[in-house]
Structure 1
Amino acid sequence: MTESRIFFQKAFPFWDKITEDEQKIILDNSSLQKFSAGENIHDSTECTGILVIKSGLVRVYMLSSEGKEITLYKLNPYEVCVLSASCILTNINFDIFIDAEKESEVYLINPHKYKEIKDKNIVVERFTSSIINQSFSDAMWIMEQIVFMSFDKRLAIFLLEQSLSSKTDILNLTHDYIAKNMGTAREVVSRMLKYFQTEGIVSLSRGIITISDKSKLKKLI
């Protein structure tokens, strides 16, 4: 069994429910590409295809009218992005950008070949709809934070999520990085972090934010 076949079997819950011919179409129409940290994988002018993350970390984001980036969600190994294949999605006009957050390996599947299988196989259709629904749910959660939450709550959520994903309270994050992910100005981030520091919630050093009192941080939410 080839490495790609083994990988897709783990990444796609429908893999064993489609035919050998359908599996072969996906295998023959996918390519494994490497991206360095910060490199763009997809922009809104392209129909890149279905993305399946093999290694690394990938960031999906939108650009505001002022050019500020707003991170919608991130993709880890074995996770799938469908919105990067908007040309095969009916009535969906959702401009997103995708960058490699770290050095990453990503399978790109031809969108039209994938659509051929999706249109014939209900299990692939259901999987695709589920991924789309989750993507919109994640995006709406971010929009809800921006519209309805004060910035201290948003920043608290961001720091707690970073702590959870990295499994440490010592976060290697610059103020620029946080601002870029949250769609705001660096100065806004710096002011709020300094406030958090005066309240004993975090301690700050160059490029490092240490969560000093997680219970206080949680109370802000």
Structure 2
Amino acid sequence: MDTAETAGLLSAHFSAWAHLTKEEQDGMLSDTVLTRYAKGACIHNGENDCKGMLLIKKGQLRTYMLSESGKEITLYRLGAGDVCVLSASCVLSAITFEVQIDAEEDSEVLFISPLYLQSLMERNIHVECFVYKTATDRFSDVMWAMQQILFMSMDKRLAVFLWDEIAKTADDTVHLTHEQVARDVGSAREVVSRMLKYFSSEGIVELSRGGIRIINKQKLRKLAE
């Protein structure tokens, strides 16, 4: 990717760009790398992996927590144009929160060097504000995920997830396996499978190898409320 295209992406999605000097902009461009990832690839593995600030040019990433037992809890997703700073935890002195990031689709990601980002934060208040505001916004997503897991019943959590998926994709079929759904709602596959079978018996969904088709949106929405 050429320098002009990189500058265009940074200008569009990194609001502090306009507050950088020409020298600072040139420095950031020279310390920004485009990396391509295949679907399923690990982008950031948490502890001791400080990749820097990332900007998604193309694709979709999943950010999640991993327990000691290997259980995954999806926190939020990132799409084209989104910025993530939790992959640069080494420059966030007030934050010690480790996440994992995987590519859910073939993706192209820009990485801004953590060392250069830190140097900019130390001398440019606009960069520092952008980084911490972005982190705060993502923590809002994290708190929502935690609230669902801690305070919502399993049937409601699953209903909310299915409703959000069909609203997002404009498709009445959720093209995910039971294992993938379980990761997203923070539960075990067996629990999700049992609940989906219950939804099926209630005439809310139709299950197939290709996914989960919503056949009664009114019932699903009532469960999700």
Shorter-chain TM-score category? over 0.9
Q: Is the 8 A contact 1:69 1:182 kept in 2?
A: no
Cα drift, residue 49 of structure 1: 0.8
**Aligned with 2:18: secondary structure?**
helix
Matches within 5 A, 1:80-91: 80-91=83-94
| Letter aligned with residue 17 of structure 2 | W
| Letter aligned with residue 223 of structure 2 | L
Query: Which one of 8, 11, 31 corresponds to residue 9 of structure 1?
Result: 11
Q: Which runs of 5+ in 2 are unaligned?
A: none
Cα drift, residue 74 of structure 1: 0.4
**Aligned with 2:55: secondary structure?**
strand
Q: Distance in 2 between matches of 1:218 and 1:18?
A: 47
| Letter aligned with residue 21 of structure 1 | E
What residue is the counterpart of 2:42 in the other structure?
A: 40
Q: Distance in 2 between matches of 1:162 and 1:112?
A: 38
Runs of 4+ aligned structure 1 residues displaced above 4 Å come to none
What residue is the counterpart of 2:170 in the other structure?
A: 167
| Letter aligned with residue 35 of structure 1 | Y
**Aligned with 1:161: secondary structure?**
helix
> Does 2:207 correspond to 1:204?
yes
The percentage of aligned residue pairs carrying the same residue is: 48
Q: Distance in 2 between matches of 1:119 and 1:159?
A: 43
What residue is the counterpart of 1:195 in the other structure?
A: 198
> Normalised by the size of structure 1, how large is the TM-score?
0.96
- 1:92-141 alpha-carbon deviations (Å, 9 max, x no partner): 11111000010000001101101111222222222111111111111111
> Does 2:188 correspond to 1:180?
no
Q: Is the 8 A contact 1:51 1:84 kept in 2?
A: yes
Q: Which runs of 5+ in 1 are unaligned?
A: none
> Normalised by the size of structure 2, how large is the TM-score?
0.94
What residue is the counterpart of 2:64 in the other structure?
A: 61
- 1:136-168 alpha-carbon deviations (Å, 9 max, x no partner): 111111111111110111111111221122221
CA RMSD of aligned residues (A): 1.3
Moved more, 164-173 or 45-54: 164-173
- 1:152-196 alpha-carbon deviations (Å, 9 max, x no partner): 111111112211222211221111111122232111111111111
Number of residue equivalences = 221
Query: Which one of 17, 22, 25 corresponds to residue 24 of structure 2?
Result: 22
| Letter aligned with residue 17 of structure 1 | H
Q: Distance in 2 between matches of 1:25 and 1:164?
A: 41
**Aligned with 1:92: secondary structure?**
coil
